[in-house]
Structure 1
């Protein structure tokens, strides 16, 4: 079942390091079978925080999303990001509706 990685930044302290992280993280996600569905700042915030950068990536399943996170390539990206941002990452199973 398709799974969705939802990455929401709650604080960004260093835009340059975030940019370098994204340059490494994007190819790492694609190499692990991820497909970017949406990324950037929200066009509208209906509830909640300030509306910082959010990314949604589709994976073949939750195991593939976990493997992407644990991959050497993504761990390299995380080292670049370091404490430059605070974020929340969730992996959700897709919904099969008739």
Structure 2
């Protein structure tokens, strides 16, 4: 099942180390078949506050997403980002083709008798 690495990073002044991180991250993704789907870009906030940028990287599965994040190549460049940008980073499974939210509701209703 497709999986995603998602980051919500707060904006900060541009730093040379962050630029180096950006120059090197693509090479860390290749062996894990990762690719950027969202990398910054315009954000149209419809509800709540969203101070920062969104990054979404797609992987074929959660294991490859974890392996990328834990790889020595990525761990080597990660401090170039974390020293200068704060935020959250998560790994999450996608949904299967044909996903039906009403089935999720039915499962919850059965489990909670609602």
Give the TM-score taking structure 1 as reference length: 0.83
**Bigger CA radius of gyration:** 2
Q: Look up the SS of the partner of 1:88 in the other structure.
A: strand
Post-superposition shift, 1:92?
1.3
Structure 1 partner of 2:22 = 22
Per-residue deviation at 1:42? Answer: 3.2
Give structure 1 stretches of 5+ with no counterpart. Answer: none
Matched, 1:48 2:49: yes
| Equivalences for residues 64-75 of structure 1 within 5 A | 64-75=64-75
Structure-2 separation of matches of 1:96 and 1:4? 13
Q: Which has the higher helix share?
A: 2
Runs of 4+ in 1 over 3 A off after TM superposition: none
Counting only pairs closer than 5 Å after superposition, residues 1-98 of structure 1 correspond to structure 2 as 1-46=1-46, 47-50=48-51, 52-98=52-98
**Cα gap change, 1:84 to 1:13, in 2 (>3 Å):** farther
Q: Give the TM-score, by structure 2 length.
A: 0.73
- Name the structure, 1 or 2, with higher relative contact order (CA <8 Å, separation 6+): 1
Gaps of 5+ in 2: 99-114
Q: Structure 1 residues 27, 83: CA separation in 2 closer, same or farther (over 3 Å shift)? A: same
Indicate the SS of the match to 1:49.
Answer: coil
- For the residues of structure 2 that align with 1:93 and 1:27, how far apart are their CA atoms? 23
